[in-house]
Structure 1
């Protein structure tokens, strides 16, 4: 699937990239995004002001405000 990703701390590194689809682990729900919003926090991360990638990753997927369906 495609996602809006950035390299935290690197200004204007945001781009659309192909990423692996998430897999639900025991005790988790899998959400299928329908619409995703980009907010002020995402803009500040894009500008390199702050943000951190998950452990073991170099990139951070943006867009934490969403409307989704539980799979």
Structure 2
């Protein structure tokens, strides 16, 4: 779906956790031929859990499972 949207010339905003190397490589393979900007968003785990509790699109524990402990 994302590849088709990008190929059609649409602008995309993709909210996607890149917690595994293959996910990043897959997105780069699809999106790099186009004008692509990757943005890292970081926040403390308690803030992430507060935000997921306030959001109807997430469930308890989802943020913790998606957390990546990457060097800054």
Q: Considering the TM-score relative to the shorter chain, is it more than 0.5?
A: no
| TM-score scaled by length of structure 1 | 0.23
Which has the higher relative contact order, 1 or 2, with Cα contacts under 8 A spaced 6 or more apart? Answer: 1
